[in-house]
């Protein structure tokens, strides 16, 4: 019973990583560049939930659209300042730029709302689901469903729609994409909008589930999201989903199984990442077909 | 200004140079905090527990880091780009967890009692490392690194052993980071695993990217500026980091190749060397 | 005849390097125009400038009467001016069919299957391998894909930058045949070719570009028999 | 000099090279022609070790190349250019050529020792100037490779291969992107290096090059040899006409 | 040492008003940005209250007290830099730094430069002991707090089977979880259910479901948590969510004015040993609170009560001022002498009556104070009864 509970714990915990990683991977999949400020969108949406509900006293249904809009705006700002001015040749630059932007965002939040964690009032109490002895947190269940749905939806979009093909074309070569008629700015902005939406949903559900938000909550989760993206394979949406669940399960199992690994939970997770890379240098679902001809 | 700043600047310059060396072969590492940690811990244990002379302990720290760098170099061969960056970040995190749990070196509580870093010996170290990297860059070894960075397949076909050069770069780089770690430990009197977490690695990346990853001068400039800037902006109080971040974002937007690019160095150099350069070419055009 | 493409006194530069100087060029509807010149003369640069990949520093470019030198590339492509670049610009990780579909981005849902079938008929080899990543194709096969992809966009004006590059003689013949067929079907073509002789044979008019400037413009036939051209670009007179 | 026996290579269930035998004699210009996708570039990749053969032997002057890494093979004296240009794009023309000399002088740790190989370096300098001169790159020697036009890049790649001082040079479509005048110059160039004792294995679709300078031509299709002989033989070979050249017409030079 | 005082400078009220002597500078290392910002801001408020009180009462023997505040951002490197900087500015003593990591790096420097440094928050055992004689901490370490609080807690709830959960990343929490708590549990003859099976979380974690499921399976009667309060709040919430309703005892890290609100409804039956809580029955404390809260509420409306650290920071200034005043020194005196006075004053500090009852500095340089075992009632800390 305890093991089943732990498996569920892992699954639910992983869904958060999945959702963030899908955002990461989506952006990478289009720009071939990393957006390390992505996890700050997650954090900001959590903080926004807190401010709107605890300070402005809005009901949840009124807060949600505002948070979504705010996160999309933030995503677009990130695109505007850290990606748009930078040409592809300098693909390292967005690394520094987005880390710095992440610092700016989180420091702004700290300055405006304090460095402490904040407790989010439980405006809607989503009660836990109890199946037999197994306890399932409803917000996390929703998180899992959202990740699944967005994975399926986005995979479909990437594979079979005009937008998806444009995204993939763009990720390979901006010039080629332009010559084929891809509206580069539109595609890039849409990607950021999509990714930010996912991060916002993650942030909100996180706030509801843990009833706590903090200006630093993006860092650790973001790092894991990054690892998940790599485990899944850059740009691979299904990979991100599976990687997230895998990471959640592994993290939980490091604690749950009597192997004396609780203190090493992180080492286990990162160790897995390294192992996977050793055997599959482009992640679990990254393409292993060599497309680079000599 | 307080001399500590220059000590930190020196240490950071060494770190930036160390990352520059791996990046010269196109390997992006976010694990340099770990190499720094190795240098710091090994040298500290030697001076604190075994009273080994400072210089020897530093060399041992560098050697230990280089050895691990060598070992990491092999798996790194197959892993490229962002995969390598995140993989090394994972390595950094793992080393941190391990250090946290080894009681002999103080675990999470850290290790203290080191001393000996002075402005003078940091200055010497910085200059020596910089000179070494600059020299290396001008030798064929440096050219080989660049070739590997730009096109591995072509480099192989030129007879360059890509494996060797990549591992060589990782080893040298880790060794240099180890030296920086040793300096750091013996200045701070105290080290703990958290001092070398991924934040440190990211900072090192910052130095190199802001200054410019194409030349050692860029790395030096980046490290120096980014050490100074926060001090200059101390008056801004809590807005300091915000401004710091904004400056970096703006810098990257304006100069994505970093402040000092290869071109900058060339321009400066040719300005100094204009006269010598012109004479031979005019002779050959007369011919 | 109306000029479908007018380039007026266009200049372009890569940073400090001036690559085009006051180029004037017209392409009339239904024509095949050949652009020839030696390595580094600026042929590719001119095409890139027309398709909006690089911005002209001076001058004016009009397509169908409307100025396009400030437009973004995708708008230009949408309006029917399609550029098949040198170096192919294949999307290596995408399958061949996805490459083609991306090329046919603005075709209607209804037209797409017909278009696909059409280009597959021209290049049957692509059909055989349509689910393979385009990056695995051989050099010449990639060139075919690039041309096919250009056709998918149903251009009014097609700019081909060295379409014969890397193709076997037999296929080159087919390509030149194709250009004539396209012309017959009403497409206008601006052709950059090193294979100048063949290019001029199927072209109506030709331009010679040198050091970033147009040096000569004339009917193709006249160019073919111009001694200077023969010497400089057609590999000498002896083979005429 | 180069001896290939029963060579095979498959990609995803497709025989790209199957049972190929090839014999390249020293001091010759040996051309390989064949339709697109025939496996010519793959053959080069196999010889230079970038791909490993599924079966068959490749021997270079008695040395079995199969197990060797690409850089070892290069050091034995085989250099090449690439069909899809692979220059060191951030290096200047001169630096690219210098990298080409990687096979002649150690680029390893020993290069850290100053004044080692002084004489060797000097002679390499001279050679470099000569190649710059031959390829008319003097004016552009300090330009980054990325700023050259396609044709210029193509030429630079050839120069880089030549700089290696190799005994066998593999050229993959060197004339692609050159105009007739320039390919005529290329012909001269290739003949010059042949006269310096270098063996050239040449892939080319431009018949004005192949027919003019080749000593021997091998035609392959679907990874198999379909014909071999002098240019004259090949020009009229029915299988070649059918698969590759098309109807016989004005290719005559 | 009244012998040092020149007869002419005999204390007089009018002289002090004109403040003829040079001001006395005190350095203040505080995290005003980064992870410790919310703590730091309150510590600054408290420190300023103390400085204002002293200056309003006429300063120190004709000198005004001048505070030189420096923001460490919780970063060791900056703490090092700033300690040296403060020494150059001729401050008489340094109050701070906040974090133990910062204390680790600044204490040796203070020792080397011979300047008294008094941390108001660091709680990792042994740091002051390693840096005698110039380093002090006006805070109490876990060993001292728990030896009092644990038996009280166990008796109150009548529990004997403990599970211990600690934060393996935070040095203070880890040492309490690995060294202090087990000793205290076994010394009292209690059972430690996860002895062979350490339960660790780490700073920055947010999802505690796995560890809680595991604890649940062990069926302890009580849980001792050695974690910081932010993680602590999440942890107790998850414990309660999974129906683990046993009483909980926390270490130093979990006491925070923000904790009750953060833990919300889960903050039941949570006990912690402390030397300070706002309801403490002392006139000086209530006086201080009256000045403190109106300022703090502007910054953090949810947690306007001072943490022990802010109170210590206040006391630090008061104690230093008293030492200098008693010694009859002012800003014109030799800075070396001033520093030595403060140092020896701290070394000898015994039964000082500040905001928190009698406090003494022990031989290791750490504070020893009266320990109160408190629990959370109606969102506030109150004695466990
Ligand atoms: N990206 C670039 N940056 C700087 N200069 C460039 C760049 N691309 C081309 N050039 C320069 O511009 C000039 C014209 O180049 P362009 O590519 O247009 O030549 P081209 O006529 O197409 O030659 P080719 O027949 O070799 O393709 C050349 O001298 C070249 O050096
Ligand atoms: N890495 C690979 N993966 C899959 N298929 C490959 C790979 N390399 C080559 N091929 C296939 O092998 C065949 C031969 O390719 P190769 O490049 O050798 O042809 P080629 O003779 O050089 O043609 P071209 O004249 O067009 O350059 C092609 O069909 C190609 O798609
Ligand atoms: Mg061109
Ligand atoms: Mg080929």
D150 lines ligand 1 (CB under 6 A): yes
Q: D121 pLDDT band (50/70/90 cuts)?
A: confident
Dihedral angle over CA of C60, C61, C66, C72, nearest 10 = -110
Residue A173: which of C91, C103, C153 has the nearest Cβ?
C91
The pLDDT score that the predictor gives to residue A118 is 87
Q: What is the pLDDT of residue E96?
A: 85
CB A264 within 8 A of CB B107: no
Put simply, the answer to whether A258 touches E202 (Cβ < 8 Å) is no
Q: What are phi and psi for residue D14, nearest 5 degrees?
A: -115, 125
CA D156 vs CA D74, D91, E136: distances in Å: 18, 12, 71
Provide long-range contacts, Cβ within 8 A and 24+ apart, for E340-346: E340/E114, E341/E1, E342/E92, E342/E93, E342/E116, E343/E116, E343/E133, E343/E134, E345/E319, E345/E320, E346/E116, E346/E118, E346/E136, E346/E319
Half-sphere exposure of residue C237: CA atoms within 13 angstroms, side-chain side: 5
Please answer whether residues C234 and C197 qualify as being in contact, where contact means their C-beta atoms are separated by less than 8 angstroms: yes
Distance between terminal CA atoms of chain A?
Answer: 55
Chain A contacts in chain D segment 45-64 (CB below 8 A) = 45, 50
Averaged pLDDT for residues E115-144 = 92
The pLDDT value recorded for residue E354 is 86
- For C190-220, write each residue's pLDDT tens digit: 999 988 888 999 999 999 999 999 999 999 9
Q: Where in chain C is the domain with CATH 3.40.50.300?
A: 1-80+155-240
How many domains, in total, are found in chain D?
1
- Under 8 Å between Cβ of C133 and C92: yes
Q: What is the pLDDT of residue C1?
A: 63
Query: Among the listed ranges A208-212, A287-291, E162-166, E188-192, which one has the minimum average pLDDT value?
Result: A287-291
Q: Is the pLDDT of residue D214 over 50?
A: yes
Residues 6+ apart with CB under 8 A from A273: A227, A230, A231, B86, B87, B90
Tell me the DSSP string of B45-63.
HHHHHH---HHHHHHHHHH
Query: Strand C3-14's sheet: what is its strand order?
Result: C17-28, C3-14, C58-63, C66-67
Taking only the tens place, the pLDDT of each residue in A164-201 is 999 999 999 999 999 999 999 999 999 999 999 999 99
Residue B286 CB coordination number (10 Å): 6
Query: Do E336 and E330 form a contact (C-beta atoms < 8 A)?
Result: no
Is C77 in CB contact (< 8 Å) with chain A?
yes
- A/B touch flag: 3 or more CB pairs below 8 Å: yes
Q: Average pLDDT in the C41-67 region?
A: 94
Determine whether A112 is exposed, middle or buried from the number of CB atoms within 10 Å of its CB (0-12, 13-18, 19+). exposed
**H-helix or E-strand spanning residue A159:** helix A138-160
Residue nearest to atom 10 of ligand 1 (CA): D147
pLDDT of residue A290: 65
Whole-model pTM: value is 0.91
Crossing angle between the packed helical segments A2-31 and A38-50, to the nearest 10 degrees: 120
The CATH number of whichever domain residue D176 belongs to comes to 3.40.50.300
Q: Which of the two residues, C83 and B262, has the higher pLDDT score? A: C83
Dist. CA D48 → ligand 4 center (Å): 14
pLDDT tens, position by position, B127-178: 999 999 999 998 889 999 999 999 999 999 999 999 999 999 999 999 999 9
Closest of D151, D38, D183, D165 to residue D87, by C-alpha: D151
Mutate which of E40, E74, E81, E129 to disrupt the B interface (most B C-beta within 10 Å)?
E81
Query: Which tokens is C15 given?
Result: 């940073």
> Closest Cα to residue E163, out of E211, E123, E207?
E211
Q: Are the beta carbons of A179 and C53 separated by less than 8 Å?
A: yes
pLDDT band with cut points at 50, 70 and 90 for residue E38:
confident
ipTM of the predicted structure?
Answer: 0.90
The DSSP result for E53-119, as a single string, is: HHHHTTTBTTB-EEEEEEE-TT-HHHHHHHHHHHHHTT-SEEE---SHHHHHHHHHHHHHHT--EEE
Q: Which of D135, D146, D148 for mutating ligand 1's site (highest number of atoms within 8 Å of CB)?
A: D148
Please return the burial class of B180, using the count of CB atoms within 10 Å of its CB with bins 0-12, 13-18 and 19+.
buried
Asked if D244 and D219 count as a contact pair (C-beta separation under 8 A), the reply is yes
* Residues in chain B, pLDDT under 70: 1, 274-287
Which long-range CB contacts under 8 A does A257-262 form with residues at least 24 apart?
A258/E197, A260/E197, A260/E198, A262/E197, A262/E198, A262/E199, A262/E200, A262/E211
The mean per-residue pLDDT over the stretch C131-148 comes to 93
The residues with which D216 forms a beta bridge, in sequence order, are D30
Residues on chain B touching E109 (C-beta within 8 angstroms):
189
Whether A244 and A202 have beta carbons less than 8 Å apart is answered as no
CA A33/CA E340 separation, integer angstroms:
58
Quote the Cα angle for B59-B62-B67, to 5°.
125
C-alpha distance across the termini of chain C, in Å: 32
Identity of the residue in B90, B238, B249 whose CB atom sits nearest the CB atom of A81: B249
Q: Give, using CA atoms, the residue closest to atom 8 of ligand 2.
A: C136
Asked if C35 and C46 count as a contact pair (C-beta separation under 8 A), the reply is yes
Q: Are B2 and E81 in contact (CB under 8 A)?
A: yes
The model's pLDDT over A37-67, given as tens digits with 9 standing for 90+, comes to 999 999 999 999 999 998 899 998 899 999 9
Q: E9 CA to middle of ligand 1, Å?
A: 87
Residue nearest to atom 16 of ligand 2 (CA): D39
Q: Where are chain B's structural domains?
A: 3-286
Q: How many CB atoms neighbour CB E261 within 10 A?
A: 17
Which of C92, C105, C136 is closest, CB to CB, to A162? Answer: C105
Instruction: Identify all chain C residues contacting A291, using CB atoms and an 8 Å cutoff.
Output: 92-93, 133-136
Q: Above 70 in pLDDT, residue E5?
A: no
Residue B256 is classified by DSSP as T
**C49 CB under 6 A from ligand 1?**
no
Domains of chain A from N-terminus onward: 1-279 (1.10.3470)
Buried b / exposed e over E341-359, threshold 16 CB at 10 Å, is bbbebbbebeebebbbbeb
Q: Which of A230-234, C169-173, D99-103, E120-124 has the lowest mean pLDDT?
A: D99-103
- Which of D85, D136, D139, D147 best tests ligand 1's pocket when mutated (most atoms within 8 Å of CB)? D147
Structural domain span for residue D23? 2-251
Q: What is the pLDDT of residue B234?
A: 83
Residue A120 — pLDDT band, cuts 50, 70, 90? confident
In this complex, the residue of C141, C168, C235 whose CB is nearest that of residue D181 is C235
Helix E209-218 and helix A2-31, axial crossing angle in degrees, nearest 10: 170
Q: What is the pLDDT of residues E131-161, one digit of tens each?
A: 999 999 998 888 888 988 999 999 999 999 9
The pLDDT value given to residue B32: 96
Q: Between β-strands D29-33 and D216-221, what pairing exists: parallel, antiparallel or unpaired? A: parallel
Distance in angstroms (rounded) separating the CA atoms of residues E191 and E213? 20
With a CB cutoff of 8 Å and minimum separation 6, the contacts of B131 are none
Is A291 close to C134, i.e. CB distance below 8 A?
yes
Q: Which residue has the tokens 């020299």?
A: B135
Q: Are residues E136 and E316 in contact, defined by beta-carbon separation less than 8 angstroms?
A: no
Interface check E168 vs B, CB under 8 A: yes
**For the domain bounded by C1-80+155-240, which CATH number is listed?**
3.40.50.300
Q: Which fold has domain B3-286?
A: ABC transporter involved in vitamin B12 uptake, BtuC (1.10.3470)
Provide the pLDDT for residue C235: 63
What does pLDDT average to over chain B? 90
Residue C87 in contact with ligand 1 by CB distance below 6 A? no
Give the closest of D71, D90, D103 to B150, CB-based.
Answer: D90
Query: Parallel, antiparallel, or unpaired: how do β-strands D224-229 and E24-30 relate?
Result: unpaired
Closest to B31 measured CA to CA, from B100, B5, B75, B101: B75
For residues E60-72, one letter each, b for 16 or more C-beta atoms within 10 angstroms of the residue's C-beta and e for the rest, the string is bbbbbbbbbbbbb
DSSP single-letter state for residue E345: H
- E246, E250, E256, E261 alpha-carbon torsion, rounded to 10°: -10
Provide, as residue numbers in chain D, all residues whose Cβ is less than 8 Å from the Cβ of C165: 176-177
Token output for D88: 């060191």
Residue D64, strand partner residues: D59
- Evaluate if residue D252 carries a pLDDT over 70: no
Look over chain E and give the mean of its residue pLDDT values, rounded to a whole number: 89
A156/chain C closest Cα distance in angstroms = 14
Which residues have C-beta within 8 Å of that of residue E198, sequence separation ≥ 6?
A260, A262, A263, E164, E166, E178
Going by pLDDT thresholds of 50, 70 and 90, the confidence category of residue E323 is: very high
Do residues C102 and A178 touch, judged by C-beta distance below 8 A?
Answer: no
* Cβ–Cβ < 8 Å for B46, B113: no
What pLDDT score does A257 carry?
86
Any ligand 1 atom below 6 A from CB of C16: no
pLDDT for the residue E305: 87
């Amino acid at each position: 019973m305890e093991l089943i509970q732990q498996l569920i714990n892992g699954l639910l915990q992983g869904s958060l990583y999945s959702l963030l990683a899908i955002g990461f991977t989506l952006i990478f999949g289009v720009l071939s560049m990393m957006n390390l400020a992505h996890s700050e969108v997650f954090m900001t949406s959590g903080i926004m939930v807190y401010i709107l509900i605890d300070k402005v006293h809005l009901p949840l249904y009124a807060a949600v659209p505002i948070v979504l809009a705010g996160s999309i705006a933030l995503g677009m700002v990130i695109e505007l300042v850290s990606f748009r001015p930078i040409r592809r040749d300098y693909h390292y630059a967005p690394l520094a730029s987005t880390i710095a932007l992440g610092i700016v965002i989180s420091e702004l939040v700290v300055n405006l709302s304090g460095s402490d964690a904040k407790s989010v009032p439980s405006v809607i109490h989503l009660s836990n689901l109890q199946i037999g002895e197994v306890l399932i947190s409803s917000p996390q269940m929703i998180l899992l469903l959202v990740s699944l749905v967005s994975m399926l939806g986005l995979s479909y979009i990437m594979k079979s729609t005009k937008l998806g093909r444009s995204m993939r074309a763009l990720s390979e070569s901006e010039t080629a994409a332009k010559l084929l008629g891809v509206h580069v700015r539109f595609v890039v902005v849409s990607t950021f909008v999509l990714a930010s939406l996912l991060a916002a949903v993650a942030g909100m559900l996180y706030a509801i589930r843990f009833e706590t938000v903090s200006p630093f909550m993006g860092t650790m989760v973001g790092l894991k999201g990054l690892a998940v993206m790599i485990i899944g394979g850059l740009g691979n949406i299904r990979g991100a989903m599976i990687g997230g669940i895998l990471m959640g399960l592994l993290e939980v199992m490091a604690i749950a199984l009597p192997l004396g690994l609780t203190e090493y939970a992180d080492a286990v997770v990162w160790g897995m990442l390294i192992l996977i890379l050793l055997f599959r240098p482009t992640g679990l679902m990254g393409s292993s077909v060599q497309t680079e001809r000599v | 200004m307080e001399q500590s700043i220059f000590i930190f600047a020196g240490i950071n310059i060494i770190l930036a140079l160390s990352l520059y060396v791996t990046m010269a072969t196109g390997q992006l590492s976010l694990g340099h905090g770990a190499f720094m940690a190795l240098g710091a811990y090994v040298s500290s244990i030697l001076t604190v527990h075994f009273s080994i002379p400072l210089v020897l302990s530093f060399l041992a720290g560098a050697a230990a880091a280089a050895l691990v760098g060598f070992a990491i170099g092999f798996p790194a061969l197959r892993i490229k780009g962002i995969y390598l960056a995140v993989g090394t970040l994972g390595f950094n995190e793992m080393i941190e967890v391990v250090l946290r749990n080894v009681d002999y070196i103080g675990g999470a509580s850290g290790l203290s009692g080191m001393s000996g870093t002075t402005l003078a010996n940091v200055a010497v170290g910085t200059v020596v490392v910089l000179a070494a990297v600059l020299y290396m860059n001008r030798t064929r070894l440096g050219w080989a690194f660049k070739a590997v960075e730009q096109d591995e397949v072509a480099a192989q076909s030129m007879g360059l052993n890509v494996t060797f050069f990549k591992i060589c770069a990782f080893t040298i780089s880790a060794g240099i980071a180890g030296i920086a770690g040793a300096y750091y430990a013996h200045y701070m009197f105290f080290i703990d695993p958290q001092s070398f977490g991924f934040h440190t690695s990211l900072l090192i990346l910052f130095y190199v990217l802001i200054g410019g990853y194409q030349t050692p001068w860029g790395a030096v400039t980046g490290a120096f500026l980014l050490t100074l800037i926060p001090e200059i902006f101390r008056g801004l109080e809590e807005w300091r980091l915000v401004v710091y971040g904004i400056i970096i974002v703006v810098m990257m937007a304006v100069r994505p190749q970093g402040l000092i690019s290869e071109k900058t160095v060339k321009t400066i150099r040719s300005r100094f060397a204009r006269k010598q350069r012109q004479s031979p070419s005019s002779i050959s055009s007369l011919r | 005849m109306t000029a479908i493409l007018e380039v007026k006194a266009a200049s372009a530069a890569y940073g400090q390097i001036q690559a085009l100087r006051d180029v004037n060029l017209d392409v009339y509807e239904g024509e095949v125009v050949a652009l020839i010149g030696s390595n580094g003369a600026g042929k590719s640069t001119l095409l890139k400038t027309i398709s909006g990949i690089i911005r002209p520093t001076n001058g004016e470019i009009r397509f169908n009467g409307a100025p396009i030198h400030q437009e973004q590339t995708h708008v230009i492509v949408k309006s029917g001016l399609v550029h098949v670049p040198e170096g192919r610009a294949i999307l290596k990780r995408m399958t061949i069919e996805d490459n083609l579909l991306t090329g046919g981005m603005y075709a209607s849902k209804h037209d797409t299957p017909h278009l696909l079938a059409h280009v597959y008929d021209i290049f049957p080899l692509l059909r055989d391998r349509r689910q393979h990543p385009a990056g695995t194709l051989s050099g010449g096969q990639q060139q075919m894909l690039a041309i096919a992809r250009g056709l998918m966009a149903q251009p009014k004006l097609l700019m081909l930058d060295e379409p014969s590059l890397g193709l076997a003689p037999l296929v080159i013949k087919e390509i030149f045949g194709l250009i004539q067929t396209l012309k017959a079907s009403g497409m206008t073509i601006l052709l950059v070719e090193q294979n100048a002789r063949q290019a001029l044979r199927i072209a109506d008019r030709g331009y010679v570009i040198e050091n970033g400037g147009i040096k000569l413009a004339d009917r193709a036939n006249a160019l073919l028999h111009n001694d200077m051209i023969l010497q400089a670009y057609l590999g000498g007179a002896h083979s005429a | 000099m180069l001896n290939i026996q029963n060579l095979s290579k498959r990609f995803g269930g497709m025989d790209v090279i199957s049972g190929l035998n090839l014999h390249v004699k020293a001091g010759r210009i040996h051309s390989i022609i064949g339709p697109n996708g025939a496996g010519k570039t793959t053959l080069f990749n196999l010889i230079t070790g970038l791909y490993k053969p599924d079966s068959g032997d490749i021997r270079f002057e008695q040395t079995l190349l199969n197990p060797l890494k690409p850089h070892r093979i290069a050091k034995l004296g085989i250099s090449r250019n690439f069909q899809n240009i692979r220059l060191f794009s951030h290096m200047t023309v001169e630096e690219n050529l210098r990298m080409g000399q990687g096979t002649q002088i150690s680029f390893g740790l020993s290069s850290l020792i100053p004044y080692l190989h002084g004489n060797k370096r000097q002679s390499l300098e001279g050679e470099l100037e000569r190649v710059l001169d031959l390829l008319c790159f003097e004016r552009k020697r300090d330009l980054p490779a990325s700023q050259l036009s396609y044709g210029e890049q193509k030429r630079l790649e050839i120069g880089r291969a030549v700089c290696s001082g190799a005994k066998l040079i593999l050229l993959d479509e060197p004339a692609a992107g050159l105009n007739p005048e320039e390919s005529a110059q290329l012909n001269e160039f290739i003949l010059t290096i042949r006269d310096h004792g270098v063996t050239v294995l040449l892939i080319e679709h431009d018949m004005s090059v192949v027919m003019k300078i080749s000593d021997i031509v091998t035609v392959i299709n679907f990874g198999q040899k379909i014909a071999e002989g002098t240019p004259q033989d090949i020009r009229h070979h029915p299988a070649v006409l059918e698969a590759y050249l098309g109807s016989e017409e004005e290719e005559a030079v | 040492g009244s012998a040092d005082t020149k007869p002419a400078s005999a204390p007089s009220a009018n002289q002090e008003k004109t403040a003829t002597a040079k001001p006395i500078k005190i350095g203040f290392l505080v995290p005003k940005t980064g992870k410790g910002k919310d703590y730091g801001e309150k510590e600054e408020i408290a420190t300023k209250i103390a400085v204002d009180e002293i200056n309003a009462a006429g300063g120190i023997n004709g000198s005004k007290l001048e505070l030189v505040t420096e923001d460490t951002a919780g970063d060791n490197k900056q703490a090092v830099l700033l300690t040296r900087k403060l020494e150059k500015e001729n401050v008489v003593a340094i109050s701070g730094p906040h974090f133990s990591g910062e204390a680790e790096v600044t204490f040796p420097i203070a020792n080397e430069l011979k300047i008294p440094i008094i941390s108001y928050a660091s709680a990792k055992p042994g740091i002051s002991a390693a840096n005698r004689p110039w380093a002090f901490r006006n805070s109490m370490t876990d060993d001292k707090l728990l030896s009092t609080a644990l038996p009280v807690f166990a008796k109150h709830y009548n529990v004997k089977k403990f599970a211990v959960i600690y934060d393996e990343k935070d040095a203070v929490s880890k040492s309490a979880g690995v060294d202090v708590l087990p000793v205290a549990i076994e010394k009292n003859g209690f059972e430690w259910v996860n002895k062979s099976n350490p339960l660790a979380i780490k700073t920055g974690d947010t999802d505690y479901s796995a560890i809680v499921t595991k604890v649940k399976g062990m069926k302890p009667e009580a849980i001792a948590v050695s974690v910081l309060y932010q993680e602590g709040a999440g942890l107790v919430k998850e414990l309660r969510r999974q129906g683990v309703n046993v009483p909980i005892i926390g270490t130093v890290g979990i006491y925070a004015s923000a904790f009750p609100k953060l833990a919300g409804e889960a903050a039941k039956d949570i006990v912690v040993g402390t030397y300070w809580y706002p309801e403490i029955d002392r006139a000086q404390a209530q006086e201080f609170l009256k000045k403190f809260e109106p300022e703090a509420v502007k910054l953090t409306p949810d947690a306007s009560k001072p943490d022990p650290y802010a109170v210590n920071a206040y006391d630090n200034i008061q104690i230093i001022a008293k030492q200098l005043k008693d010694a009859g020194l002012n800003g014109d005196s030799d800075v070396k002498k001033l520093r030595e006075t403060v140092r020896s004053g701290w070394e000898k500090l015994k039964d000082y009556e500040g905001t928190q009852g009698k406090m003494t500095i022990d031989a290791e340089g750490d504070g020893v104070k009266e320990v109160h075992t408190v629990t959370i009632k109606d969102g506030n800390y109150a004695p466990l009864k």
